[in-house]
């Protein structure tokens, strides 16, 4: 068969789960090492093992490993291995098989992501548990300084967060390269139930600051998550007048991002002075809101922000 046709055929047969036909076509190949075992396909540089693991084709995965003799540690152009694919896509039978075949549990892909990190992006507790029980290290960090607990806190699955804390009780005590904690991450992404768990089970200092001086309360306010902002105030004694590295308070950050409800909450409910300057230049929330309005149509949220600032 012509090389171009093979390039299209083998990945397609795996995606479609056509095991018998795949076997027949592979048996026709004179040089298995060049054209199958060491062959990389498509722009991603995937091997046939990657395709099988990604699409949950356990019989094909077993055939390629045990009969064809492919190495389970082959990488694609992003340095992903078949175990990354099985973990990411939630194919438990493929994942367990690869582990039985000796796949490295903490192998790193591009940007230093482990299979456990990728499983956390899919909120798949069963896969996460399998990886941890087989020795995956939950404390490893990727190039941004995130461990799997950061990722789980972003995704917002309470069950996953609880499990990781049970498996590694001090896993919460971590910062990214720009000093952001999992509490920052959960607050930013609106994960209320996770925030409650972190406040109950972890020991974050109130108003912990990232590299830019941003606190979890600021993250909640500037992203419109008032339910989280209230929890941080009531249960974590967050400072609603704290300033970031540029001198901005939560009020100013709410104006910058057009959070009308956040502005009303800070000014009307908490009594924040609306004309208080953000920096030595005296920039107020009204300045920020008006600046955003210069190019926005009437009726946009930022017009509401200007109105809020003027009324209070």
What would the pLDDT profile of 144-174 be if each residue is shown by its tens digit?
A: 999 999 999 999 999 999 999 999 999 999 9
Report the pLDDT value the prediction gives residue 25, as an integer from 0 to 100.
Answer: 94
Contact 239, 231 (CB under 8 A): no
Q: Which two tokens stand for residue 195?
A: 């925030």
288 versus 154: which is more confidently predicted? 154
Question: Does 239 score more than 90 pLDDT?
Answer: yes
Question: Does 274 score more than 90 pLDDT?
Answer: no
Cα atoms in the Cβ-side hemisphere of radius 13 Å centred on 299: 1
Question: Does 79 score more than 70 pLDDT?
Answer: yes
Q: Kindly state the percentage of the chain with pLDDT values over 70.
A: 90
Task: State how far the Cα of 127 lies from the Cα of 124, in Å rounded to an integer.
Answer: 6
Contact 204, 181 (CB under 8 A): yes
What band does 8 get if pLDDT is binned at 50, 70 and 90? confident
Instruction: Look up the CATH superfamily of 1-103.
Output: Ankyrin repeat-containing domain (1.25.40.20)
Backbone angles phi, psi at 202, to 5 degrees: -110, 180
Q: Which two tokens stand for residue 114?
A: 């482990």
Residues in a beta bridge with 46 = 41
Task: State how far the Cα of 42 lies from the Cα of 184, in Å rounded to an integer.
Answer: 38
Task: State how far the Cα of 171 lies from the Cα of 166, in Å rounded to an integer.
Answer: 9
Averaged pLDDT, 44-71: 97
Domain range list for the chain = 1-103
């Amino acid at each position: 068969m012509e090389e171009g046709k093979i390039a299209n055929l083998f990945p397609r047969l795996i995606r479609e789960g056509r095991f018998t036909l795949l076997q027949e076509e592979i048996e026709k190949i004179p040089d298995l090492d060049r054209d199958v075992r060491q062959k990389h396909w498509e722009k991603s540089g995937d091997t046939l093992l990657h395709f099988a693991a990604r699409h949950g084709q356990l019989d094909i995965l077993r055939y390629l490993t045990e009969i064809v003799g492919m190495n389970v540690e082959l990488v694609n152009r992003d340095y992903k291995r078949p175990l990354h694919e099985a973990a990411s896509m939630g194919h438990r039978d493929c994942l367990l098989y690869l582990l039985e075949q000796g796949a490295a549990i903490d192998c790193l892909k591009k940007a230093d992501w482990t299979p456990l990190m990728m499983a956390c992006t899919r909120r798949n507790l069963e896969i996460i548990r399998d990886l941890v029980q087989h020795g995956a290290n939950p404390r490893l960090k990727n190039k941004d300084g995130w461990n799997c607990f950061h990722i789980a806190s972003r995704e917002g699955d309470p069950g996953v967060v609880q499990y990781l804390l049970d498996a590694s009780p001090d896993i919460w005590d971590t910062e990214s390269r720009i000093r952001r904690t999992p509490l920052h991450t959960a607050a930013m992404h609106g994960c209320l139930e996770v925030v409650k768990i972190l406040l109950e089970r972890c020991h974050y200092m109130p108003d912990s600051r990232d590299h830019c001086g941003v606190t979890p309360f600021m993250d909640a306010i500037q992203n419109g998550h008032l339910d989280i902002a209230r929890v941080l105030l009531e249960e974590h004694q967050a400072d609603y007048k704290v300033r970031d590295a540029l001198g901005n308070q939560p009020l100013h950050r709410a104006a910058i991002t057009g959070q009308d409800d956040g502005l009303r909450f800070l000014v009307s409910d908490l009594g924040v002075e609306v004309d208080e300057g953000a920096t030595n230049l005296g920039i107020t929330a009204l300045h920020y809101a008006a600046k955003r309005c210069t190019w926005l149509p009437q009726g946009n949220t930022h017009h509401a922000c200007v109105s809020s600032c003027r009324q209070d």
